[in-house]
């Protein structure tokens, strides 16, 4: 598995033979800073080296249908697409599209579902957590990773930049592809996950033992900072972050809450760990928090400005998504055709 080392960028490949990067986010709410640090900032940072496919996985958002309102889902999908661009994804080069506009996704997902032993899906920790919280567990929630595998395998992705919580799904995608290849012939490419060394798992400000998540962000004030939060909310959330009674600011010795703040600062400023430890050592957590408020506010300002610009022209986003769907369909339908030949349907 690859790890992004922020101090040593990966060797660049020639534009003509760019490797393929693919990733996606569920349109289940406004993106938070964990999504940005763990995923989107990584996509933007690395995009020129690759041919990129960035999806809004709206079919995955249906796996807990009780939470869905059609109007909200449609609006959220557009918000996420606009945020991709606002975070620096170049829609002229990268393919930005809605998963639901490419019918090959659920089609290949069915074929892959048939190649996936139930035991593999039963082991998925995200399924276990989500199903414990749900009153009724839909079959879609269970087979969710087979749809994710289809998302990735349709585009012959080399790399999938995601947060740490997705590692198990990427491993499973490899296993499913391998099993398909064993049964029907070597065809599907096994992808690799790309994870940040620091920031791959941003924790809640209110509870540093819980991963920052969209669902908790909606119900608990102080849990997350969303990418569209105004400066006063950013300030309140960071100043209220749970730390500890001590004053330890070394990465390897800090409590989970303090380490979370240090890692956010590290990823956003790209300063080295020794420099950060030197800067914040012996000054109390108040100074770390105040500095982080400024850093986060400054990081989100251009994203929010760009977001306003994009959303002021709905036709622009319509155009991006239409072109994205067209480009994605061209690749995905070819893969699906090959797979159908291989399996005999």
Distance CA 8, CA 309 (A): 33
User: Does residue 211 belong to the site contacting ligand AMP (CB under 6 A)?
Assistant: yes
Selecting among 49, 69, 197, 211, the annotated active-site residue is 211
Distance CA 316, CA 211 (A): 34
- Binders of ligand AMP in range 152-181 (CB under 6 A): 162-163, 165-166
Shortest reach from residue 127's CB to ligand TRP, in Å: 11
Distance CA 335, CA 19 (A): 17
User: Does residue 35 belong to the site contacting ligand AMP (CB under 6 A)?
Assistant: yes
- Binders of ligand TRP in range 58-77 (CB under 6 A): 60
User: Does residue 259 belong to the site contacting ligand AMP (CB under 6 A)?
Assistant: no
Kindly state the number of chain residues that form the binding site for ligand TRP, as judged by CB under 6 A.
Answer: 13
User: Does residue 196 belong to the site contacting ligand TRP (CB under 6 A)?
Assistant: no
User: Does residue 172 belong to the site contacting ligand TRP (CB under 6 A)?
Assistant: no
User: Does residue 214 belong to the site contacting ligand TRP (CB under 6 A)?
Assistant: no
- 306 as an active site residue: the answer is no
Cβ-closest residue to ligand AMP?
Answer: 38
Write the CB contacts of 92 (distance below 8 Å, at least 6 apart in sequence): none
Distance CA 22, CA 228 (A): 24
Longest dimension (CA), the chain: 68
Q: How far is CA 109 from CA 57, 66, 114, 115, 195, in A?
A: 13, 22, 9, 10, 25
- 189 as an active site residue: the answer is no
- 128 as an active site residue: the answer is no
DSSP state of 70: H
Out of 47, 76, 148, 237, the only residue in the binding site for ligand TRP (CB under 6 A) is 148
169 in Cβ contact with 145 (< 8 Å): yes
Distance CA 111, CA 153 (A): 12
User: Does residue 57 belong to the site contacting ligand TRP (CB under 6 A)?
Assistant: yes
User: Does residue 160 belong to the site contacting ligand TRP (CB under 6 A)?
Assistant: yes
User: Does residue 39 belong to the site contacting ligand AMP (CB under 6 A)?
Assistant: yes
135 in Cβ contact with 94 (< 8 Å): no
User: Does residue 25 belong to the site contacting ligand AMP (CB under 6 A)?
Assistant: yes
Selecting among 130, 189, 279, 306, the annotated active-site residue is 130
**Among ligand TRP, ligand AMP, none, what binds residue 35 when CB lies within 5 to 8 Å by partner kind?**
ligand AMP
Out of 20, 95, 121, 162, the only residue in the binding site for ligand TRP (CB under 6 A) is 162
55 in Cβ contact with 71 (< 8 Å): no
Out of 49, 174, 214, 223, the only residue in the binding site for ligand AMP (CB under 6 A) is 214
Distance CA 334, CA 336 (A): 5
13 in Cβ contact with 204 (< 8 Å): no
**Angular region, 63: left φ>0, alpha ψ -120 to 50, beta rest:** alpha
User: Does residue 166 belong to the site contacting ligand TRP (CB under 6 A)?
Assistant: yes
Task: Return the ∠ at Cα 327 (arms to 324 and 329), rounded to 5°.
Answer: 105
**Among ligand AMP, ligand TRP, none, what binds residue 261 when CB lies within 5 to 8 Å by partner kind?**
none
Shortest reach from residue 169's CB to ligand AMP, in Å: 9
Q: Which two tokens stand for residue 196?
A: 């940040």
- Binding mask 14-33 toward ligand TRP (x if CB under 6 A, else -) reads --------xxx-x-------
Distance CA 227, CA 53 (A): 21
- Site of interaction with ligand TRP (CB under 6 A): 22-24, 26, 57, 60, 148, 151-152, 160, 162, 166, 169
Query: Which residues are annotated as catalytic?
Result: 130, 211, 214
- Site of interaction with ligand AMP (CB under 6 A): 25-26, 34-35, 37-39, 162-163, 165-166, 200-202, 211-214
């Amino acid at each position: 598995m690859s790890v992004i080392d922020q101090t040593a960028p990966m060797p660049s490949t020639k534009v003509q033979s760019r490797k393929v990067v693919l990733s996606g986010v569920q349109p289940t709410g406004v993106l938070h800073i964990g999504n940005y640090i763990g995923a989107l900032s990584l996509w933007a940072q690395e995009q020129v080296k690759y041919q990129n496919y960035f999806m809004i996985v709206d079919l995955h958002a249906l796996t807990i249908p009780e939470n869905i309102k059609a109007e909200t889902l449609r609006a959220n999908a557009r918000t996420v697409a606009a945020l991709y661009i606002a975070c620096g994804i170049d829609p002229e080069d990268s393919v930005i599209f809605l998963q639901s506009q490419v019918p090959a996704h659920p089609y290949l997902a069915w074929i892959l579902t048939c190649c996936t032993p139930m035991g593999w899906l039963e082991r998925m920790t995200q399924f276990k957590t989500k199903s414990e919280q749900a009153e009724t567990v839909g079959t879609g929630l269970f087979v969710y990773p087979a749809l994710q595998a289809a998302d990735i395998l349709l585009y012959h992705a080399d790399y999938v930049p995601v947060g740490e919580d997705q590692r198990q799904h990427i491993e499973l995608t490899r296993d499913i592809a391998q099993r398909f290849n064993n049964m029907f012939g070597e065809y599907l490419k096994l992808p690799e996950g790309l994870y940040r060394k620091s920031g791959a798992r941003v924790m809640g400000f209110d509870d540093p033992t819980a991963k920052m998540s969209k669902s908790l962000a909606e119900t608990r004030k102080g849990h997350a900072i969303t990418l569209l939060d105004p400066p006063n909310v950013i300030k309140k959330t960071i100043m209220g972050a749970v730390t500890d009674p001590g004053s330890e600011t070394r990465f390897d010795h800090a409590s989970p809450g303090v380490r979370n703040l240090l890692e956010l600062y590290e990823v956003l400023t790209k300063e080295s760990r020794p420099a950060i430890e030197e800067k914040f050592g012996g000054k109390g957590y108040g100074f770390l928090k105040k500095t982080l408020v400024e850093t986060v506010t400054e990081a989100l300002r251009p994203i929010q400005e760009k977001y306003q610009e994009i959303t002021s022209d709905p036709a622009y986003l319509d155009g991006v998504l239409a072109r994205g769907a067209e480009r994605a369909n061209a690749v995905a339908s070819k893969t699906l055709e090959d797979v159908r030949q291989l399996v005999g349907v």
